[in-house]
Amino acid sequence: MLIEWQTRDMKDWQADAIIFFSFEKSEEPLPGFKRWMEGSAPWISGSQALQDFKGKHQEVAVYYGPADCEIPRLIAVGLGPADKFELDKLRSAAAGAFRKCRELQISRPALPLAAFEGLPLDRATALRESLIGGICGLYRYDALKTRDVDAYTSLETLLLLHDAAPDDTLRAVPIEADAVASGISFARDLVNAPANRVTPTLLADSARRLAEDHGFHIQVLSYEMAQILGMEAFTAVARGSREPAWVIILEHRPPGTENDAPFVFIGKGITFDTGGISIKPSANMEAMKQDMAGAASVLGAFDILGKLKVPRRVVAILPCTENMPDGKAYKPGDVIRSLAGLTIEVISTDAEGRMILCDALAYSLRLEPALIVDMATLTGACLIALGKEVAGLMGNHEGLTRKIQDLGREVGEKFWPLPLWDFYFDYIKSEAADFKNVGDRTAGTIIGGIFLKQFVPDKIPWAHLDIAGTAWTDKDLGVAPKGATGFGVRLLVELAQRGFETSGNQGLKSQ
C-alpha cells in the first residue's frame, strides 16, 4: 500500500472516503471531525444517520453523500469511552477502518491529521500508531491458497490529509510505520507457514536474505560446527531430525558501533515440536509449527532495524532445529554437557526449548554483551498462568524487566513479571548431573526461567520472555487477525532504538 501526503485546505481535500474517530457517548464530535463536517460536508452535519452512531470501541459506520462530493464517503470509527482511551484502542479502531475500506473496495481512502484533534496524544504518535494498527489489521496469510482468494488483499493508496506541508517529524512517520508493519508481517508469514516449508534451512535462508538486503553480517553454524564448539544441548535436540539444524548469528553493526558492547536477542527456532521421545498427544499437534515464533520475531525485528538504520550494534542468535523422535534422538535419563560446561539430566525431551537456548546463551557471552533478551514459546504453563494476551517476563535485572514492561505497554505488547528466586532451583536439583531440565508440574514457567538463569552471569542484564500464549491467536484481535501475531517484534525494536542504561539499576534480589 502506498502512503501519500495531500496538503491543501480542508475544503479542497479529495479522496474516495475519509476516516474519522469518535468517543462513545460524546456530546460533540472531536474538534477536527466537527470542523470538517461544518465546512466540507453539509450532507452529514445534520444527518439522523450520524446520530445512530454510538462510538463504541471498533464500531464502524459508513455514510454516503452526493455522488459529486469531493469526498463522497465518511467512515466513522468508535474509540469507546474517552476516560478509558488507550493506544491499543486507537490501533484497533484504525484496523477496523482500513478493513472496512478493503471490504468496500475503496482504493484511495484518506486519513486526515485533523482526525487526531482532541485525542490525548501528539499528532506524530497518533499517526504512527494508527498506521501500524491499520496496516497490521489488513494482514492475511493466503500464500498457499489456490482458490477463493480475495483479489483485494490490500488498499491501493492511503492519503494523509493535512492543510500544510508536514514537518520532518511527521514526514518520517509513514516510513517508520510501514517498516514496522512490514517487519511484523515478515514474522507472521514465517509462523503461519507450515513446517514442511519453514524448516531450519528456510530460516537460515531468510536470515541470509535480510543480511543481503540490509548489509548485516551473518554466520550460520552447521550441526557439525556446533558439535565441534561443544553445543551438545543444541545438537542433542537436533540429532533426532533428518532436517539439517543451524545456529544463525546475524549482526546489525552500523558504522562506528563495531566496538560497542552489543544488545543480543536470542530466539527459539524449533520449526516443529513433536516432543521427541516424550511425544506430545496427537490432538492439536499441528500447532507446533509455531514453536519457532521467537526466532521469527527476532528476524522481523532485524528487518525493521535494517530499514530504519537504527544506530546500535545488535546481534541475533537463533538456534534452529526440529524436535523429532528417532533412533538417534536424545532420551529421558540422558545426561548432556552444555556449551557452558554444565551438565543437564534430561527428564523430558519435550523441554527442548531450554536445551537449545542454554547453548545460545552461553555462546552470546563470547560477545561481551551489554544485555541479553531471549524470546521463546517455552512453556504451556505460561498460557495457563497468563492467558493468550500477556507474555511471561523473567530476568536477573529489575531495571531491564521494568523497561521491557514499560516499552511493551507503549506498543501494545503486555508482559507480566514472574520471580526467579533462588529456592526455585531446588525444583531441578539432580543426583546425576548439575541439574535437571524440568521439575514437577508446579511453577512450570518459572522453572524454565530458573533453568536458563544458570547460563547467564548476574553482571549481564538478561531477560527471558515466554511468549507461548501470545505468539498465536485463535480469535481476531483487530490489529492481529487469527493466526500468528508477530508478538515481540516491536518490543525488541523499541529496546534497540531507545537503549538501556545499567548504571543506577540493581539486579533482582534473591530470596
Domain of 269, in residue numbers: 181-498
Q: Are 285 and 168 in contact (CB under 8 A)?
A: no
DSSP assignment of 228-254 equals: HHT-HHHHHHHTT-SSPPEEEEEEE--
Q: What is the CATH number of the domain that holds 426?
A: 3.40.630.10
- 221 domain-assigned: yes
Residues 105 and 160 in one domain: yes
User: Which pTM was predicted?
Assistant: 0.96
Distance CA 271, CA 199 (A): 6
Q: What is the CATH number of the domain that holds 19?
A: 3.40.220.10
Q: Are 238 and 206 in contact (CB under 8 A)?
A: no
In 14-59, DSSP assigns E strands to 17-22
Residues 265 and 150 in one domain: no
Residues 302 and 421 in one domain: yes
- 506 domain-assigned: no
Residues 96 and 231 in one domain: no
Percent over 70 (pLDDT), the chain? 96
Q: Are 262 and 317 in contact (CB under 8 A)?
A: no
The per-residue pLDDT for range 427-451, each reduced to its tens digit, is 999 999 999 999 999 999 999 999 9
**CA-atom Rg of the chain in angstroms:** 25
With cut-offs at 50, 70 and 90, classify the pLDDT of residue 385.
very high
- 504 domain-assigned: no
The per-residue pLDDT for range 188-210, each reduced to its tens digit, is 999 999 999 999 999 999 999 99
Query: What average pLDDT score do residues 266-289 get?
Result: 97
Per the structure, the count of domains in the chain is 2
- 503 domain-assigned: no
Residues 71 and 219 in one domain: no
Residues 144 and 206 in one domain: no
Residues 187 and 159 in one domain: no
User: What local confidence, expressed as pLDDT, does residue 509 receive?
Assistant: 47
DSSP 365: G
- 413 domain-assigned: yes
Residues 142 and 205 in one domain: no
- 186 domain-assigned: yes
- What are the backbone dihedrals phi and psi of residue 416, each rounded to the nearest 5 degrees, phi first? -125, 130
Q: Are 462 and 373 in contact (CB under 8 A)?
A: yes
Residues 143 and 244 in one domain: no
Residues 381 and 478 in one domain: yes
Buried-state track 10-30, b at ≥16 Cβ within 10 A, e below 16: eeebebbbbbbbbbbebeebb
Lowest mean pLDDT among 25-29, 219-223, 252-256: 25-29
User: What local confidence, expressed as pLDDT, does residue 49 receive?
Assistant: 66
Residues 194 and 314 in one domain: yes
User: What local confidence, expressed as pLDDT, does residue 504 receive?
Assistant: 45
Residues 148 and 114 in one domain: yes
The yes-or-no verdict on residue 511 having pLDDT over 60 is no
Please name which of 53, 50, 133, 54 lies closest in space to residue 86, comparing C-alpha atoms: 133
- 172 domain-assigned: no
* Residues forming the active site: 280, 354
Q: Are 374 and 360 in contact (CB under 8 A)?
A: yes
Choose one of 114, 133, 165: the last residue of a domain: 165
